Chains A and B, each alone.
Chain A
Amino acid sequence: MDQVVTAGIVEDHPVVIEGITSWISADPEHRIQVVLVAHDLMALEPVTGPVADVLILDLELNGQLVTERLPRLVAAGNRVVAFSAHSGPGLVREVLDSGAYAYVAKDEGRDYLVEAVLAAAADRPCVTRSQAKAFLGDDGPERPSLSNQERQALLLWFQGMSKASVGRRMSITENTVRQYIDRARMKYAALGRPALSKDALLARAIEDGIITPREVATYTSRASHPA
């Protein structure tokens, strides 16, 4: 990535803001620049357009979950990376369905927040372990059907292995592991409520060869006409 990615942070705890900015400034290539810090969503009103390339949003501001504000932020063109102390699979799936690019639980922040912001800026997925957990634990009637390989890659990734180790165990390359995991993520992006961000993710995934346009159509039709 040649250009610097701009990021906004919406977070009510000063300590957490410091943590996020320290992770961002610890990036040896300084790929991210924080251009906005807000303690609540009021600072962003009226929501007319994106405030930065990527918005890092704490889902719980001043003791209240702000998940229902997500669709509007997404519709205004924000690329949202959700950052939360919660990691319940239901909440994670709901937030992704509302159009967040990635879900990073607070204890995963150090490892994945920078990666998730950079991926979102490029309209690419970043599947954290809490997302893998949310996909594995999905037993809803409209869940996408994951292939055995996708499921196994997600499982080993959730268990805590590095992607290289997952590849070694599954006798595939690390790249293929990434592809399996991203494909699972794309199956979720193709389902549920429509969102600009999901379209962008899917378009980029097709461009990157993770999925084919035909597959997107298959997932979507499965979603709209569940068996």
Chain B
Amino acid sequence: MRAGPVPAAPASAGPSPAGPSASGPSSRVHPSAVLSARYGQSFDIAVIVVVAGWHVAGAGSELLPFRALYRSFPAQFALWLVIALAITAGAVRLLRGWSRPAWSYALAAVALAVTIAGAAGCPAGQLLRTDWAWGTAGWVGVLVLLRRPVGELAGFLLLNGLGTFAVLAHDGLHRSDVAGFITILAETTAIQLVVAVAARQMGATAREAAEVTQSEAAARAGELIAERLRAARQARWLALQETAGPLLRELADGSADPADPEVRRACAVEAARLRRLMAESDDAPGPLVHELHACADVAGRRGVAVDIEAVGALPSVPADVRRVITDTAIAILTTAVSQVRVTLTALPEGIAVSLVADSPVPPPSAAAPGVVIEHDRDRCNLWVEARWTR
């Protein structure tokens, strides 16, 4: 039983149950980031719809009924078109993610200019009733300053109100004008500020949700890795129980004699297995070569010359196949008298691992899917080849 195959460790072996997310969460864009971006974009679109809708329906419904009252309707309509262009430019910039502040300020300045020009074109004394530009210019500010600090929007809305007020004062103020101005200022500015603040809040919420999702995923990946490490330790412990444990017990209770060559050989086999078990959990490139080196270490300590050669681009070999190959290698490495040559050759269809050694005993029979083990002897040399076809 001691020389028999050890049950494969399911955890360190096999395909990862978590798939790519466990192997490299940082190697791709995290889904939560996509979620956050999509959420943010739908809110941007909502803002654009509100602003454009206001300009067409709100400002338009004031402009057209009073067209006869303006000093020049074509001039007012031209100003309306200027705002429409500014909204288009602002919408494109927002959706494309273009955020150079200079352009935001330029568009805001255009909106301010339209506010003043539009107010100046209103019939004297009827500004508050016929002015369409003030409100819609404020919405332009909400749109173009959406990515800027709220303070900038507040400043813009203040200037926008002052511009209108200056024209109002220029025309000659009445008390009712002041009251009407304050009412409109309070209403429009409040709504515009609320929308801008809500936009920021929603963006922050989306980011927070994305971060929470991301840290949850990281925690899950961490748990998974910990679980796999634990299972690998468990498998190593079980393997130890099955073979090394009884041997240690026999040595301890005196039923196995350290002077007995068979007991020594069994000890060497267990030592090699322990080394292999350690090597299995190392994440070394070319795990098979790495594990064979670990097995060869024990032979080296016995004074056996071990030569390991690899040729070609070696394929990655599944853990259960590696177990069978290394078990065979251990059996030969622990019985070789003075020298062992281990070769790994990449084949078009898999790999050939062979050992040539002056070992007196044939290798144990072992099996794994796709593995063919053959051996042959010429005089004192044993040749064993394990060929794995993928």
Contact A158 to B378, CB < 8 A, known contacts A133-B309, A133-B311, A136-B312: no
Smallest CB separation, A87 vs chain B (Å): 8
Which of B345, B346, B376 is the one whose CB lies under 8 Å from A158? Answer: B345
Smallest CB separation, A136 vs chain B (Å): 5
Interface string of B43-81 (1 = CB under 8 A from A): 000000000000000000000000000000000000000
B304-320 contacts to A (CB < 8 Å): 307, 309, 311-313
- Closest chain A residue to B385, Cβ basis: A159
Size class of B's contact patch? 10 to 19
- Closest chain B residue to A158, Cβ basis: B343
Q: Within 8 Å of chain A (Cβ to Cβ): is B354?
A: yes
**Which secondary structure dominates chain B's binding surface?**
strand
Is B345 a contact partner of A136 (Cβ separation < 8 A)?
yes
Is A136 a contact partner of B378 (Cβ separation < 8 A)?
no
A91-141 contacts to B (CB < 8 Å): 107, 133, 136-137, 139
Smallest CB separation, B222 vs chain A (Å): 40
Can you give 30 A-B contacts (C-beta < 8 A)? A89-B311, A133-B309, A136-B311, A136-B345, A137-B311, A137-B312, A139-B312, A139-B313, A155-B345, A158-B309, A158-B345, A159-B343, A159-B352, A159-B354, A159-B383, A159-B385, A160-B341, A160-B343, A160-B356, A160-B381, A161-B356, A161-B381, A162-B378, A162-B381, A164-B378, A165-B376, A165-B381, A168-B376, A169-B376, A169-B383
Is B378 a contact partner of A161 (Cβ separation < 8 A)?
yes
Size class of A's contact patch? 10 to 19
B residues engaging A (CB < 8 A)?
307, 309, 311-313, 341, 343, 345-346, 352, 354, 356, 376, 378, 381, 383, 385
Smallest CB separation, B307 vs chain A (Å): 7
Smallest CB separation, B310 vs chain A (Å): 9
**Which secondary structure dominates chain A's binding surface?**
helix
CA distance A162 to B383 in the complex (A): 10
Query: Which among B341, B346, B383, B385 has the highest number of chain A CB atoms within 10 Å?
Result: B383
Smallest CB separation, A88 vs chain B (Å): 11
In the complex, chain B residues whose CB is within 8 Å of the CB of A107: 307
Interface string of A143-167 (1 = CB under 8 A from B): 0000000000001001111101100
Is B345 a contact partner of A159 (Cβ separation < 8 A)?
yes
Contact A155 to B352, CB < 8 A, known contacts A107-B307, A136-B311, A161-B383: yes
Given contacts A165-B376, A168-B378, 6 further A-B contacts (CB under 8 A): A136-B312, A137-B312, A155-B345, A159-B354, A162-B378, A165-B381
In the complex, chain B residues whose CB is within 8 Å of the CB of A162: 378, 381
- Closest chain B residue to A132, Cβ basis: B311
CA distance A178 to B293 in the complex (A): 32
Smallest CB separation, B300 vs chain A (Å): 15
- Closest chain A residue to B344, Cβ basis: A159
- Closest chain A residue to B307, Cβ basis: A107
Smallest CB separation, A169 vs chain B (Å): 6
In the complex, chain A residues whose CB is within 8 Å of the CB of B376: 161, 165, 168-169
CA distance A107 to B309 in the complex (A): 13
Is A160 a contact partner of B354 (Cβ separation < 8 A)?
yes
In the complex, chain B residues whose CB is within 8 Å of the CB of A168: 376, 378
Is A165 a contact partner of B307 (Cβ separation < 8 A)?
no
In the complex, chain A residues whose CB is within 8 Å of the CB of B381: 160-162, 165
In the complex, chain B residues whose CB is within 8 Å of the CB of A164: 378
CA distance A156 to B378 in the complex (A): 13
